[in-house]
């Protein structure tokens, strides 16, 4: 034992190395098992993570983009994808706002009202008399509208008679060398009648060359002068609205006739009549027409103008800012028309019946002009032949092309974003448009 200890003391390093080798050999199986388990666990964890990542990459993802079909595929919803989606929707929102702004501008065409004092609410000091001023302004606006589109009537019959009488006297005296008709023989009377017919047609032709088409204030839906001491502000606003409608329809006729020097060459020869088919609720004739606050259909016909019975008009509701939510979907009702459009919280529909004389083969030019002018759609059309010879007797010269009398029902759309701020309180209440200062009934 002493010799062993002495050897250990003399060979400490060798002894320690030997002990370590022995321990390693003895404990190696134990340590190797533990290391293998740890490595296996790490590998399994990593494999599971890889599998989860692969699963994410195969996850079905559907992206809903407003105004487009949903897009679907497999992938990972990450920050980059979310940022791309935000950029797309932001651009789409900006595009939608731009389109809405263009639509409002197209619909409004820079128009206002004939009297800033009357709309949306006249001062109390003028409430009893304002309707007379508004009516005068409306009539002047129709006169100016007809001038702007080169529309007018044939020569005044009294003027034509005076011209014919002068020509008769000249022909008898200067050409036939007689003093009066009583001295003429049958052949001379025939010559005189032919000359007078030629003179009359010449006078009608001169007037036709001055016009693009025939139309007069009497042919349009111009309200009669108010008789009552006071009428509703809704009625006055309805006058204004009908003027806007006339501006669009006559403006479309002018576009269809653009480039034609006279009635003879124009596609549209004459506007015989124009009538808004439904009343503005709370306006003139609403009780007679029974239209309620759901106007915009085809079947209705307007009632008698003026406030019913001459009864005292109640005080109009106060007005204030209006809020139109353009994001609301406009519902459709295809029982009313093939477009399905009806008045709603975004726009109002007002249908108009227009009777015109038009060159038959050029009727599509009028339809195109209506669609380009504003949001107008032809809902119904009835055609029947027109007699140009009978019309010529009354001063209407249509030319040689075949013509038809067309009765057209036109759907017109009016965006509330610009019309509602002009509306008086009673009109807003009837249409279900809320404004500060008072509550209104819900839309029907």
Q: pLDDT digits over 383-437, tens only?
A: 999 999 999 989 999 999 999 999 999 999 999 999 999 999 999 988 988 876 5
Q: pLDDT digits over 264-288, tens only?
A: 999 999 999 999 998 776 554 433 3
Q: Which residues contact 298 (CB under 8 A, 6 or more apart)?
A: 277, 336, 337, 351, 379, 380, 409
User: In this structure, what DSSP letter does residue 174 have?
Assistant: I
Q: Which residues contact 382 (CB under 8 A, 6 or more apart)?
A: 406, 407, 408
Q: Which residues contact 405 (CB under 8 A, 6 or more apart)?
A: 272, 355, 356, 357, 383, 384, 385, 386
Burial bucket for residue 302 (CB in 10 Å: 0-12, 13-18, 19+):
buried
Domain assignment of residue 415, yes or no: yes
> pLDDT by residue for the chain (444 residues), tens digit each?
676 666 656 665 665 666 556 655 665 565 555 566 776 777 666 767 666 666 655 667 677 666 666 777 666 666 776 777 777 777 777 877 788 899 999 999 999 999 999 999 999 888 888 999 999 999 999 999 999 999 999 998 787 777 777 877 787 777 877 888 877 888 887 877 888 788 888 888 889 999 999 999 999 989 998 887 688 999 999 999 999 999 999 999 999 999 899 999 999 999 999 999 987 765 544 333 333 344 544 434 443 334 433 444 556 666 788 888 877 888 899 998 999 999 999 999 999 999 999 999 999 999 999 999 999 999 999 999 999 999 998 999 999 999 999 999 999 999 999 999 999 999 998 898 887 654 444 443
Q: How far apart are the first and last CA of the chain?
A: 117
Residue 54 CB: number of other CB atoms within 10 A? Answer: 9
Residue 113: name the closest of 220, 239, 283 by CA.
Answer: 239
Domain assignment of residue 25, yes or no: no
pLDDT for position 274 = 97
Query: What are the backbone angles phi and psi of residue 412, rounded to the nearest 5°?
Result: -115, 140
Looking at the structure of the chain, the number of domains it has is 1
* Alpha helices (H) along 221-306: 233-256, 286-289
Q: What is the pTM of this model?
A: 0.75
Domain assignment of residue 137, yes or no: yes
Domain assignment of residue 55, yes or no: no
DSSP bridge pairs for 271: 356
Residue 234: name the closest of 306, 142, 132 by CA.
Answer: 306
Domain assignment of residue 63, yes or no: no
For residue 122, what are the domain limits?
110-150+211-307+330-431
Task: Assess contact for 280 and 286: CB atoms under 8 A.
Answer: yes
Domain assignment of residue 283, yes or no: yes
Task: Assess contact for 210 and 151: CB atoms under 8 A.
Answer: no
pLDDT for position 296 = 44
How many residues are recorded in the chain? 444
pLDDT for position 435 = 74
Domain assignment of residue 302, yes or no: yes
Domain assignment of residue 133, yes or no: yes
pLDDT for position 444 = 38
* CA dist., res. 354 & res. 273, Å (int): 6
pLDDT for position 286 = 37
- Strands (DSSP E) contained in 195-306 are 213-214, 268-276
């Amino acid at each position: 034992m002493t010799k062993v200890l002495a050897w250990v003391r003399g060979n400490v390093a060798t002894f320690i190395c030997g002990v370590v080798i022995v321990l390693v050999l003895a404990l190696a199986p134990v340590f190797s098992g533990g290391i293998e388990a740890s490595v296996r666990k790490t590998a399994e964890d990593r494999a599971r993570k890889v599998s989860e990542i692969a699963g994410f990459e195969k996850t079905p993802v559907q992206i809903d983009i407003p105004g487009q079909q949903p897009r679907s595929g497999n992938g990972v919803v990450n920050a980059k994808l979310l940022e791309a989606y935000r950029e797309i929707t932001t651009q789409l929102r900006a595009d939608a706002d731009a389109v809405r702004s263009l639509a409002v501008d197209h619909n409004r065409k820079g128009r206002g009202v004939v009297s800033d004092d009357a709309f949306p609410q006249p001062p109390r000091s003028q409430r009893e008399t304002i309707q007379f001023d508004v009516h005068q302004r409306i009539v002047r606006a129709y006169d100016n509208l007809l001038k702007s589109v080169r529309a007018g009537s044939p020569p005044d019959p009294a003027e034509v008679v005076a011209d014919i009488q002068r020509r008769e006297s000249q022909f008898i005296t200067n050409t036939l060398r007689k003093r009066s008709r009583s001295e003429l023989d049958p052949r001379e009377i025939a010559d005189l009648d032919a000359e007078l017919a030629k003179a009359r047609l010449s006078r009608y032709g001169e007037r036709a060359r001055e016009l693009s088409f025939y139309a007069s204030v009497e042919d349009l839906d111009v309200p009669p002068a108010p008789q009552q001491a006071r009428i509703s502000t809704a009625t006055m606003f309805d006058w204004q609205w009908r003027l806007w409608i006339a501006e669009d329809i006559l403006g479309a006729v002018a576009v269809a006739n653009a480039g034609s020097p006279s009635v003879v060459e124009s596609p549209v020869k004459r506007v015989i009549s124009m009538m808004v088919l439904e009343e503005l609720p709370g306006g003139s004739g609403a009780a007679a027409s029974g239209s309620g606050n759901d106007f915009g259909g085809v079947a209705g016909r307007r009632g008698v103008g003026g406030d019913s019975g001459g009864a005292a008009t109640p005080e109009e509701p106060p007005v204030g800012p209006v809020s139109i939510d353009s994001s609301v979907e406009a519902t459709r009702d295809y029982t009313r028309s093939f477009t399905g459009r009806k008045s709603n919280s975004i726009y109002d529909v007002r249908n108009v019946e227009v009777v015109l004389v038009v060159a038959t083969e050029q009727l599509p030019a009028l339809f195109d002009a209506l669609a380009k002018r504003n949001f107008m759609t032809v809902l119904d059309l009835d055609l029947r032949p027109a007699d140009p010879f009978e019309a010529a007797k009354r001063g209407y010269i249509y030319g040689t092309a075949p013509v038809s009398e067309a009765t057209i029902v036109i759907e017109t759309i009016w965006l509330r974003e610009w019309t509602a701020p002009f509306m008086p309180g009673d009109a807003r209440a009837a249409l279900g448009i809320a404004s500060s200062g008072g509550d209104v009934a819900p839309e029907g």
